[in-house]
Amino acid sequence: MNSKSFYKSPIFVTAAVIIFFIALYQIIDAIIPFIISIIIAYTVLPLVEFLENINPLRKRWQLATRIIAIITTFIIILSVITAMLLIIIPPTIQEAKNIIDSLPTFLNNAQNSIEKLDSKYTGILTTNTYSQLNDFIGNIGTIIADFIQQSISGTLNAFNKLSTLILAIAIIPIFLFYLLKDRDRIPKEITKLFPIATRPDVTNIMAEINTVVRAYIQAQLILASAVGLLVFIGLSILGIKFPFFLGVLAAIFALVPILGPTLGAIPGILVTLATQPEYVWLVISVYVITQLFESLLLAPQIHGQKLQLHPTVIMVSLMIGSQVAGLLGLVLFPPLVAVALRIYTFYRKNN
């Protein structure tokens, strides 16, 4: 077997994928700032490209045009963050504080609402289901606290020291700048690290990876924004309390494929049961309609089958990702698995 055939063999590809994931697990804490930079780079890349293309001097001074576009993008990002801090964050924090302060009352009211619903619609809940639901609501405070603690501890494990956090904050904009500035050069330099015989394949694989990751990140952000907006509008129309906070929660949860919209509905339903139980079925309808709109209309159009993953594979990747990197793993592992499978498929087709 010559070297080119060996590099294309299923054994080599499988071993390379396994080694990649093992190495990723070992260094996940150290590379979190770089992962965040890559996510931001893919998010703002369309804006950078747009600013480059509208500059009439781009052909004569390509590098200067790109740097100006990147700096302009940074200014826009800072402006958006400032606007969020002034406009979005305060009401979100205030509504979250109100919910936390009223949590014991909410949970008690939610239990009473379930009892009233069960007595009104006799037989709608079996004895076992009713008991489990009551136990769940009774322990919801502990469940929420445990979930938040476990998720955040995985995501922020790399930031357990102030010096590490400061270093990460300093690294992200610098690394982001060079990612955007040298986005054409970086793939070529990476290709040079591989044997000459494999470089054409590496170039094709990197193009495939770029397509998958770029499409996934941008699609998830669009989907999350759409879900959050729809939930906010629906709850506002119904007059449900804390619509802004619940919309933000729905958007954050929607970043997680498949499970996200369902998880995002739980806080809204619990708040409604505790404050306005007569609207609970309408609120459930809002979340169901949003989920159907997202999964049947938005997701197929926006994703365009880019990931090409079966739902069960996504579920497994979510479980692994949550254990490895907490909340960040929930968002990142589906595209990582998609990339690994696309690489494997590429080698299989070209073997």
pLDDT (0 to 100) of residue 287: 92
State the pLDDT at residue 256: 78
Provide long-range contacts, Cβ within 8 A and 24+ apart, for 255-258. 255/220, 255/221, 255/224, 255/330, 255/331, 256/318, 256/330, 256/331, 257/220, 257/314, 257/318, 257/334, 258/311, 258/314, 258/315, 258/318
Report pLDDT for 167.
74
pLDDT digits (tens), the chain, 351 positions: 555 555 556 666 666 666 776 776 677 667 778 888 888 888 888 899 999 988 887 778 888 899 999 999 999 988 988 887 787 777 777 777 776 676 666 666 666 666 665 565 545 555 555 565 556 555 555 555 555 555 555 555 545 555 566 777 788 889 899 999 998 888 888 888 888 887 888 888 888 888 888 878 877 888 888 899 999 999 999 998 888 888 988 998 888 776 777 888 888 888 888 778 888 889 999 999 988 887 777 666 655 555 666 667 777 777 777 777 666 677 777 777 877 777 777 777 766
pLDDT in tens, 41-66: 888 888 999 999 888 877 788 888 99
Between CA 262 and CA 268 the distance in angstroms is 11
Query: What are the boundaries of each domain within the chain?
Result: 3-101+139-349
Strand, coil or helix: 83: helix
pLDDT at site 73: 92
End-to-end CA distance of the chain: 13
212/138 Cα distance (integer angstroms): 43
pLDDT of residue 71: 93
Q: What three-state secondary structure class fits 237?
A: helix
**What confidence score (pLDDT) does residue 74 get?**
93
**CA dist., res. 8 & res. 28, Å (int):** 28
> Rounded to an integer, what distance in angstroms lies between the CA atom of residue 292 and that of residue 14?
37
Query: Nearest 5°: CA angle at 37, between 148 and 185?
Result: 155
Percent of the chain past pLDDT 70, that is, above it, reads 67
Which of 258, 314, 265 has the alpha carbon at shortest distance from 285?
Answer: 265
pLDDT of 327: 67
Distance of alpha carbon 204 from alpha carbon 211, whole angstroms: 11
Q: What is the chain's mean pLDDT, rounded?
A: 76
